[in-house]
Copies of this chain bind each other. A is one copy, B any other.
Amino acid sequence: MKPLTLRAPLLPRWQRQLESTSHRSTRAWRSSPLRHRYDVQKRRLATSTDVVQDANRDPNDKREKVVILGSGWAGYVLARQLDKRKYRVVVVSPRTYFVFTPLLNDTTVGTLEFRHVLESIRKPKSGVEFIQGWADDVNFADKIVTIEPSVLDPDVGHALTGPRKQNEQQTNNGLAIDPKFPHGPWEKKVQMGGTGSNQVPTFPIHYDKLVIAVGTYSQTFGTKGVRENAWFLKDVRDAVSIRRRILELFELALLPIMPEETKKYLLHFAIVGGGPTGMEFAACLSDLIREDMSKLHPHLMKYVRISLYDVAPKVLPMFDASLSDYAVKQYQRQNIEIKTSHQVEELRKGLPNDENARNDQDSQVKGRVYTIRTKQEGDVGIGMCVWSTGNMNNPFVAKALDHVRRYPTGSAQNIQGEVADPMQRQWIIHRDARSGVLLVDDHFRVNLTTECAAGMDEHDKPKAYMNDVFALGDSSKLMSGALPATAQVANQEAIWLGKTLNKHPEADGFARAPGFSFKDMGVLTYLGGSSAIFQGSGNGKDGASPKGLKGLSAYLVWRGAYLTMTLSWRNRLNVAWQWLTVKIFGRDVSRF
């Protein structure tokens, strides 16, 4: 059998050569000059890893080192859950905080302040270590993650959609080509999440157990102009810039020289995506306008419009018809126009029905207005578009984890009997064919499989799992069936994994532990004006049919539930305080 050739296009050439020869136990390799270089490199990695480990470490510390990639719901909750007497927990994330996403919408309009929905990962006595950086690469055989620091990265804190504008500019500026990314920083960004600014050298850290919880990027379906011109709503800096923009649009419309027509465009808010995030944002925006802006600027109210677009014939598809119909009625009462079965074709700067606008951005007014084009309505002038149409796979999962360069002998357990000579095969990470996320078993272990040789049946392919690499949250999918990409799911998965690892630190015990099963606690969406809809689950213990709540009662459940969840006491008190002051004094509209 001809040995399979490894493809590892992400590595510098010398490393590719090393990796591709390292598992060939041929005479040629043993006597190769590359071998020495490989050994040196391996020693260097080991040394620098030790340095990294020992910076803050007691040399008598014998705990297993759990490296968690990501500080979202899965990563943050797991880091808190793990028993620090048994595990040394190191979180690696591009941002220094966890975002309590269910309340992020409230911060875009000033109902809450940004810091009220953030929990710093660095807390005294938490026992959690933290490194601010992107994971660039994983070497499963040597148990090493390569980290690219993100401290100075301007993209941190924003929803990521793929290559961003900064990177295009950097490419154009003729930066030297990084040998690791021969196609330029663009490629680096798409694949790794880093900015390509190569701010500080990457460095390796060692793990005993690795948890991949890097989440997803924002989906644009490649719609023209969306990546450049839309506001996304996934992280705290997104919320900051949405809040600034809303207030900015009112200030622009208030300028005495602004033409009537332009005021209409400026104060037309478009939202794309009829899921809970988009709908709740529309509700919060409507609250701000009705409760605060209408008092400050009564004469502007005639210009304000909120339009919500969705390509599907129905918004909030996860709710029963009675609840989603109720929601639609609530939105209509708040003058939110819901435009279902509308397909967005383009989002651009400039006035509607003005083709020259694209080349004429310097003109006084055009550069301030956006145009959204749908198949059904054509061009419509807007002040901003908030885009919330779901997730796309994280490039780290899609590309960096694509190929397993060496079979991780120490970690991998074959599933279908013994595989003959596993080192001779080209192993790949087992991923979902459609979404590309990591397929995991009910213990969240990441699986390996091999590339399909010609004529080989899918079922006959060798399979293995790694007993020290886990994936949680939106970057994973259970083989037993996909769960919704919600905070609730990620939270339950992290709690299960944390508890099970605490109970069974040994691989054998862990493997025998009963697997994860999801308990649906229902879904909830805020509708504005102190109203919400809640739908319980019929899959609960008692097998009851789904129960629904709507109006004020659902709103109270909503506020109560959110206040008692993951937030720290500091933020629970802050949130309650802020809700009280907003009720009394209204929202602050200073813009800075």
Give residues in A with beta carbon < 8 Å to B: 51-52, 55-56, 95-97, 113-115, 118-120, 122-124, 130-133, 149, 151-152, 156-157, 199-201, 203, 205, 236-237, 240, 247-248, 251-252, 254-257, 295-296, 299, 364-365, 368, 568-570, 573-574, 577, 581, 584-586, 588-592
Contact = CB atoms under 8 A, between A and B. Distances in A.
Given A113-B115, A132-B251, A592 B97 contact: yes
A83 to B, nearest CB: 21
Contact of A581 (B97, B132, B573, B586): B573
B131 A590 contact: no
A567 B568 CA distance: 29
Contact of A592 (B240, B248, B568): B240
Contact of A257 (B122, B200, B251): B200
B124 A299 contact: no
21 contacts: A51-B256, A52-B256, A55-B299, A96-B247, A96-B251, A96-B591, A97-B592, A114-B592, A118-B592, A119-B590, A120-B589, A124-B296, A124-B586, A132-B254, A151-B255, A156-B592, A199-B364, A200-B364, A201-B257, A203-B257, A577-B577
B248 A151 contact: yes
Listed residue (A151, A157, A368, A592) with the most chain B CB atoms within 10 angstroms of its CB = A592
Contacts of A568: 585
Nearest to A364: B200
A592 B255 contact: no
Contacts of A589: 96, 120, 122
Contacts of A132: 251, 254-255
Contacts of A199: 364
B581 A368 contact: no
Given A96-B590, A114-B592, A585-B570, A203 B256 contact: yes
A566 to B, nearest CB: 15
Contacts of A157: 592
A200 B570 CA distance: 44
Contacts of A156: 592
A131 B255 contact: yes
A369 to B, nearest CB: 12
A464 to B, nearest CB: 32
A590 to B, nearest CB: 4
A581 B295 CA distance: 32
B588 A118 contact: yes
A175 to B, nearest CB: 9
A205 to B, nearest CB: 7
